[in-house]
Amino acid sequence: MSNVVEVVVADKNLATMSRSVKAVGLDAVLSQKGPFTIFAPTDIAFGKLVAGKMEQLMQAANKDKLTELLNHHVVEGLTNFNDLKDNQKLVTANGRELNVKVADGKVTINGATVQARDNVGSNGVVHSLDTVIEMK
């Protein structure tokens, strides 16, 4: 069975996430035992960022900023879609808090809607988001 990095790489809608994870070396961490839950923004989600932001973040000088942004989307532990509860708090890999909202069968994480869900890997699960989670 593929690990969560391989699940991301195999999803044609997550090409930007895949490229970003590899660019900062996060693929090595996310290939370890885990388990990990990844809330992966789709390419369309990355496209919603301010023009030029991803190109800027992909520059070597901004590796730390890109790593921090990506870590907003990684939670240690296994959280399947049906485990997500309204007003639940999840802690990201970099210690930030994500807020879960559930209404009318729709789940959002810090305002980003969960789209594809429960893409299971050997060391966790990947859910795709329609928006990049940015934290102040």
For residue 69, the domain's CATH number is 2.30.180.10
Nearest to 38 by CA among 1, 75, 88, 2: 75
Number of other residues whose CB lies within 10 A of the CB of residue 30: 24
Q: pTM higher than 0.85, yes or no?
A: yes
Q: What is the pLDDT of residue 135?
A: 79
Tens place of pLDDT per residue across the chain (136 aa)? 899 999 999 999 999 999 999 999 999 999 999 999 999 999 999 999 999 999 999 999 999 999 999 999 999 999 999 999 999 999 999 999 999 999 998 999 999 999 999 999 999 999 999 999 997 7
Whether 12 is covered by a domain: the verdict is yes
Whether 84 is covered by a domain: the verdict is yes
Whether 134 is covered by a domain: the verdict is no
Backbone conformation region of residue 127, classed left if phi is above 0, alpha if psi is from -120 to 50, else beta: beta
Whether 44 is covered by a domain: the verdict is yes
Whether 136 is covered by a domain: the verdict is no
Whether 135 is covered by a domain: the verdict is no
Whether 93 is covered by a domain: the verdict is yes
| Helix, strand, or coil (residue 109) | strand
Whether 119 is covered by a domain: the verdict is yes
Domain that holds residue 87: 4-129
Q: What is the pLDDT of residue 82?
A: 95
Strand order in the sheet with 74-76: 74-76, 36-41, 124-129, 119-121
- The number of distinct structural domains making up the chain is 1
Find where tokens 């490229």 sit. Answer: 19
